[in-house]
């Protein structure tokens, strides 16, 4: 082998080594900060995932147009968690092992977060959610944080309402998802006592025919029915079939149904007087006003699911502040977020406790003329 050949082979070896090092560190580079996002982009829950993706994209664009994060471009890598634990875990594995991210924004559905959390914890990657609200996620891991409150607050508000109304028997029509199961459990813990009972009929995702379930619930003659669904689409199918048999019980709605303005308007006669509880929206908040105006200007329509959208918007800006404070490191960011106190965002003042939960609550609402109105006590 002559000298020239040795030099060429040496250069090739160096180039190959550099390529291996770069590949092993994912696609991060010095001019970008890549962050994972897990959203439900298929199935019934895609009705949430697409507008939430719009908020993520708009917020990242806003940050990048203002100079990025420490001068680096924020790049979002979006994966479909399909609102399931299995797919949430698969999405997390890909983001951690292939993309080598230090932060994943999500999951959105609680099932996605519960599936993704063990992977995040093992890899010491921050899993930061603005939507997952199951009480089962409280204190789950030091690597899981959320800027949306636990549904223990939602169920407590509705249980207190049921007690105030003097209802003795509340029947659940409950979707078989982690979110809905946890909401039922928390409501039962707050409501059930001597002389008060909670019954339940469950259904799997994508159920179309609820006639048998509705008949069973009606036969029990409950004082109220809690339609405990993961998506407003599932709720609408239930409401339609209740109307077909001319049955309109007292209704409690989980916040995915209560927060869907189009669905409420479409079913406004049937849902008149139904109660729900949502995370507070302050229309006077200037950052929220900016979010609503910027979204409409960019996408030509109003923001859907505002209580979640405001938390997503704040989540991305909180991440920006965190990276600028402690660097792009999942473990450090998870610790930093637990120090957040009275941070002002589109969703109001944000304080995150040592358990990783946002310290705040839900407000009681009632459906009036196709709109959810806050009940002022």
Q: What pLDDT digit, counting tens, does each position of 326-339 carry?
A: 999 999 999 999 99
**What pLDDT is attached to residue 30?**
83
Task: Tell me how far apart the terminal alpha carbons of the chain are, to the nearest angstrom.
Answer: 89
For the domain bounded by 32-150+284-360, which CATH number is listed?
Answer: 3.40.50.2300
List pLDDT tens digits, range 283-338: 899 999 999 999 999 999 999 889 999 999 999 999 999 999 999 999 999 999 99
| Contacts of 10 by beta carbon, 8 Å cutoff, 6+ apart | none
Q: What are phi and psi of 171, to 5 degrees?
A: -105, 135
List pLDDT tens digits, range 206-221: 899 999 999 999 999 9
In this prediction, residue 29 has a pLDDT band, given cuts at 50, 70 and 90, of low
pTM comes to: 0.79
Mean of all residue pLDDT scores within the chain: 92
Residue spans of the domains in the chain: they are 32-150+284-360, 152-278+363-374
List pLDDT tens digits, range 223-242: 999 999 999 999 999 999 99
For the domain bounded by 152-278+363-374, which CATH number is listed?
Answer: 3.40.50.2300
The single-letter DSSP state of residue 102 is: S
| Contacts of 248 by beta carbon, 8 Å cutoff, 6+ apart | 242, 270
Contact 56, 78 (CB under 8 A): yes
Contact 142, 356 (CB under 8 A): yes
List pLDDT tens digits, range 60-117: 999 999 999 999 999 999 999 999 999 999 999 999 999 999 999 999 999 999 999 9
Are 32-150+284-360 and 152-278+363-374 equal in CATH topology? yes
Nearest-angstrom CA–CA distance, 159 and 157: 6
**What pLDDT is attached to residue 98?**
98
Nearest-angstrom CA–CA distance, 280 and 348: 9
**What pLDDT is attached to residue 45?**
87
User: What sections of the chain are H helices per DSSP?
Assistant: 3-24, 46-65, 85-97, 110-123, 152-165, 178-191, 211-219, 232-244, 255-258, 261-266, 268-271, 286-299, 306-326, 330-337
Q: For residue 311, give both structure tokens.
A: 């938390």
């Amino acid at each position: 082998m002559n000298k020239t050949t040795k030099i060429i082979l040496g250069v090739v070896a160096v180039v190959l080594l550099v390529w291996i090092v770069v590949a092993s560190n994912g696609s991060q580079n010095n001019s970008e900060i890549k962050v994972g996002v897990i959203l439900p982009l298929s199935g019934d829950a895609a009705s949430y995932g697409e507008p939430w993706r719009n908020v993520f994209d708009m917020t990242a664009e806003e940050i990048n147009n203002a100079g990025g994060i420490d001068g680096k471009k924020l790049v979002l890598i979006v994966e479909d968690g399909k609102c399931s634990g299995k797919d949430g875990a698969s999405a997390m594995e890909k983001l951690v092992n292939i993309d080598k991210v230090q932060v994943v924004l999500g999951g959105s559905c609680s099932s996605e977060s519960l599936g993704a959390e063990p992977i995040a914890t093992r890899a010491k990657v921050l899993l930061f959610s603005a939507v997952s609200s199951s009480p089962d996620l409280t204190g789950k891991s030091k690597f899981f944080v959320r800027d949306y409150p636990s549904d223990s607050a939602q169920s407590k508000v509705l249980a207190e309402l049921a007690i105030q109304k003097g209802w003795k028997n509340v029947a659940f029509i409950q979707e078989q998802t982690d979110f809905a199961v946890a909401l039922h459990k928390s409501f039962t813990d707050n409501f059930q006592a001597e002389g008060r009972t909670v019954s339940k009929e469950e259904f799997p995702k994508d159920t179309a025919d609820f006639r048998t379930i509705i008949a069973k619930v009606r036969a029990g003659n409950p004082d109220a029915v809690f339609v405990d669904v993961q998506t407003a689409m599932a709720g609408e199918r239930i409401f339609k079939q209740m109307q077909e048999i001319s049955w309109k019980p007292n209704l409690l709605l989980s916040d995915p149904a209560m927060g869907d303005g189009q669905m409420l308007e479409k079913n406004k006669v049937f849902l008149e007087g139904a109660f729900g509880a949502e995370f507070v929206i302050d229309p006077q908040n200037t950052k929220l006003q900016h979010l609503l105006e910027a979204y409409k200007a960019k996408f030509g329509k109003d923001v859907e699911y505002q209580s979640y959208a405001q938390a997503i918007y704040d989540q991305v800006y909180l991440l920006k502040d965190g990276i600028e404070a402690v660097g792009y490191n999942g473990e450090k960011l998870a610790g930093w977020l637990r120090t957040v106190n009275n941070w002002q965002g589109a969703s109001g003042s944000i304080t995150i406790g040592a358990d990783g939960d946002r310290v705040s609550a839900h407000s009681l609402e009632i459906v009036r003329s196709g709109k959810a109105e806050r009940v002022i006590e």
